[in-house]
Chains A and B, each alone.
Chain A
Amino acid sequence: MSDLAPLTVGIPLIVAAVLVGGAWFVPRRVVDVASLLAASTVAVLCALVLAKASEGQIVYWFGGWQPRHGTAIGVAFAIDQLGGGLALFCALLFVAAFVFSWRYFVTVGPLFHALMLVFLAGMLGFVYTGDLFNLFVFFELMSVAAYALVAYDIEEEGPLQGALNFAVTNTIGAFSILTGIALLYGRTGALNMAQVGSALAGGKPDGLVIVAFTLIVVGFLVKAAVVPFHFWLAGAYSVAPTPVCLLLSAAMSELGLYGLARVYWTAFSGVLDPGDAGLQAVLVGVGALTALVGAAMCFGQRHLKRMLAFATVAHAGLFLIGLGLFDAAGLAGTALYVVADGCVKAAMFVSVGVVQHLRESVDELRLRGRGRDLRLTGPLFAACALAVAALPPFGPFFGKSLVEKAAEDAGLWWAPVVFLLTAALTGGALVRAAGRVFAGLGSAKDPIASDVPGPREVDPELEYRHDRVPRTMTVPAIALALAGLGLGLVPGLIGNLERAAAQFVDRPAYAASVLHARPARPPVKAPSSSPSLLGVLVGLASAAGALALAAAALFRSGLRSRALAASEGLAGALLARLRAIHSGLVPDYVTWLIVGTALLGGLFALTLSG
């Protein structure tokens, strides 16, 4: 059964090649059906792989090149429960995206489907692999497919800019990862993660290890869009076709963080102590900064897709806090948060896609009240907005409160404050948008929001008016929203995640399983935690904060008070500063990337070499 794992990567690649080669002369529906079938098959296979991985880590050596005397010769897929679960999540998102794109495009060639399938193959290979160079190759495969997909509507102005910034910054990030991997190879003579980890374990963190770690971390943080490497994200996510947005926002950013966690725990945890306070402080601090900057920018948007893009940035910051705790509890909470939040954000992107399909705009102010007749999409969007604000008992609340609890146990008393502010601001922006678009609340002017909409809001694929929403759009929206909202209530899920996370962070067991074929099993029992009373209170507070912020933004004319005017002025000035930094110019963004790399490297050198 472990032979199924390479099929999950092989099937989409083969179908993509066949589509590019032969699908120009068959009807479009054939292409749609073929790619949907391929994605569904892959999802089923991923589920089987996950079921197998929960009995013990799957190690698959390509070409049968088993390790000799504990030395890896070949390239392996090493799949544990957490990786298997993430892969299944990605595959299911692709199924939803293909269903959604059924009626989204008026005309579409087989190239779109082929690129999507290559994107899927890249993601799965990236999640499954146990080899550093293989990781880089799948990372690039995923990235290049994503650049091309963002630029799919190439005749427009936005996609061109967005894809260029995206491609240039992420290519530099990938180059950084490759250089880091090369340095590790020079030190250890190995590319297999388990073997690199075994060779480094027990040593002192010297200059080379710190430089290699910095380069690899920077590369993954560029992909995860963490401040100050996040600038490319909003430009790219806001202009991509909606089915692609859903994948970028719900899966790709998170995969950057997965890569960071995977490489750290397998290769670096033996030499850079996970209990190191300096390491933790740097990553958690960067995460908190990202969360707050992303949340502030999110609140200042009126372009719905840009709003969701900045919410993605903010949440990536929260996930980084969870990973930066460097313990199993933080990892388990983050895993739940990533999947629940990913489903919710994907559902919101689909809802925005529905609105765009019907009203040909994604501008919050122009759409005011024009979504009143959308009896299904409106409530769905509002419920998801409240879930983003971490209202119990929706899925993101469980993930968030588990991470908060882990952070408090690690001595970070201020973490819940950051989570509360971020959830309230991002949730508040989305509740405000829901109120304005679907209920017609508030005025059509907003001093906080960016005031000049894009030059042309109409999607070029949607030149005519539609009166009704196709089922192929509502079904994925409902399915994703239900999955995201209900995820935390699945019995036994949290306990399973905690066991999977405990296995993920166990480097010696991983190495023994990969190099010596001693199967690593998740621990039988782990202390299963549930959200504490404080967590529930923080969740309620952030939801209340989101509602209050949304109400203040919508009904500002009715609430003339000096305090409100003053805070509005302050927020406006702060946002103007932040907006000025987001200049949309590649050279600026690359400058930020260089500065960020230097700062991060300096901080690591200061905290780790001591």
Chain B
Amino acid sequence: MSFFPYAVAAWVVLIGLYGIVTSRNLIHLVMCLSVVQSASYLVLLSIGYKDDAQAPIFADVPLSTPAVDPVVQALTLTDVVVGVTVTALLLALAVQAHKRYETLDPEDLRPRRRR
């Protein structure tokens, strides 16, 4: 197993976080958050990956055939569902923000008062 997929995952996290930190648009920010989350799919899948192995379906092959780990694939699916839920909720909030203030810039949205 090479380090390459983990390096890619780390890079994806970093560019996603960079996007969030510098964002001036809520839609862009939510998309960057999805980018950060997608790094976890990479990590999960590469943990279960094996060279020269097939998909974990044993319908017409002997049980001893090497296969990739199905558990992490199930985890990834669940993770995708969770990610979509959060993205949908955040986009709904962004739409509300735009409806009410006609801006998507976090700077313009913050309450004007001392905290």
- Residues A585 and B110 in contact, CB atoms below 8 Å apart: yes
Given A168-B20, A182-B72, A587-B22, CB of A454 within 8 Å of CB of B100: no
Say how far B101's CB is from chain A's closest CB, in angstroms. 8
Using an 8 Å CB-CB cutoff, how does the interface string of A448-468 with B read, 1 for contact, 0 for none? 001111110000000000000
- Residues B17 and A594 in contact, CB atoms below 8 Å apart: yes
- B contact patch SS: helix
- Residues B20 and A182 in contact, CB atoms below 8 Å apart: no
In the bound complex, residues from chain B placing their C-beta under 8 Å from that of A133 are 75, 78
- Residues B36 and A155 in contact, CB atoms below 8 Å apart: no
- Residues B17 and A182 in contact, CB atoms below 8 Å apart: no
Say how far A457's CB is from chain B's closest CB, in angstroms. 11
- Residues B97 and A179 in contact, CB atoms below 8 Å apart: no
The B-contacting residues of A in range 128-166, CB under 8 angstroms, are 133, 137, 140, 144, 147-148, 151, 154-155, 157-158, 160-161, 163-164
- Residues B72 and A185 in contact, CB atoms below 8 Å apart: yes
Interface size class on chain B is: 35 or more
Nearest residue in A to B47 (C-beta to C-beta)?
A186
The B-contacting residues of A in range 152-196, CB under 8 angstroms, are 154-155, 157-158, 160-161, 163-164, 167-168, 171-172, 174-175, 178-179, 182-183, 185-186, 191
Is B8 part of the binding interface, using a Cβ–Cβ cutoff of 8 Å? Answer: no
Cβ contact of B86, chosen from A144, A450, A451, cutoff 8 A: A144
In the bound complex, residues from chain B placing their C-beta under 8 Å from that of A451 are 114
Is B107 part of the binding interface, using a Cβ–Cβ cutoff of 8 Å? Answer: yes
Given A167-B93, A168-B90, A591-B21, CB of A585 within 8 Å of CB of B106: yes
Is B68 part of the binding interface, using a Cβ–Cβ cutoff of 8 Å? Answer: no
Given A182-B40, A234-B115, CB of A160 within 8 Å of CB of B23: no
Cβ contact of A594, chosen from B21, B23, B89, cutoff 8 A: B21
- Residues A586 and B37 in contact, CB atoms below 8 Å apart: no
In the bound complex, residues from chain A placing their C-beta under 8 Å from that of B43 are 179, 182-183
Say how far B60's CB is from chain A's closest CB, in angstroms. 25
- Residues A148 and B37 in contact, CB atoms below 8 Å apart: no
In the bound complex, residues from chain B placing their C-beta under 8 Å from that of A144 are 82, 85-86, 89
Nearest residue in A to B107 (C-beta to C-beta)?
A585
Cβ contact of B109, chosen from A161, A182, A453, cutoff 8 A: A161
In the bound complex, residues from chain A placing their C-beta under 8 Å from that of B113 are 450, 452-455
Given A133-B75, A168-B33, A182-B72, CB of A583 within 8 Å of CB of B93: no
Is A590 part of the binding interface, using a Cβ–Cβ cutoff of 8 Å? Answer: yes
In the bound complex, residues from chain A placing their C-beta under 8 Å from that of B17 are 172, 590, 594
Nearest residue in B to A297 (C-beta to C-beta)?
B115
- Residues B40 and A160 in contact, CB atoms below 8 Å apart: no
Is A584 part of the binding interface, using a Cβ–Cβ cutoff of 8 Å? Answer: yes
Is B62 part of the binding interface, using a Cβ–Cβ cutoff of 8 Å? Answer: no
The A-contacting residues of B in range 63-106, CB under 8 angstroms, are 71-72, 75, 78-79, 82, 85-86, 89-90, 93-94, 96-97, 100-101, 106
Using an 8 Å CB-CB cutoff, how does the interface string of A34-52 with B read, 1 for contact, 0 for none? 0000000000000000000
Given A158-B111, A171-B33, A178-B79, CB of A163 within 8 Å of CB of B93: yes
The A-contacting residues of B in range 6-61, CB under 8 angstroms, are 17, 20-23, 26, 29, 33, 36-37, 39-40, 43-44, 47
User: Which residues from chain A sit less than 8 Å from chain B, CB to CB?
Assistant: 133, 137, 140, 144, 147-148, 151, 154-155, 157-158, 160-161, 163-164, 167-168, 171-172, 174-175, 178-179, 182-183, 185-186, 191, 234, 306, 450-455, 579, 582-587, 590-591, 594
5 A-B pairs with the lowest CB-CB distances in the bound complex, closest first:
A186-B47, A584-B110, A450-B114, A452-B113, A140-B82
Q: Can you list 9 residue pairs at the A/B interface with Cβ under 8 Å?
A: A140-B82, A154-B93, A172-B17, A172-B36, A179-B40, A191-B71, A582-B115, A585-B106, A587-B29
Q: Apart from A140-B85, A161-B110, A178-B40, list 19 A-B contacts with CB within 8 A.
A: A137-B82, A144-B89, A160-B93, A161-B109, A167-B93, A171-B33, A172-B33, A179-B43, A191-B71, A451-B114, A454-B111, A579-B115, A584-B111, A584-B115, A585-B106, A585-B110, A586-B20, A587-B20, A587-B21
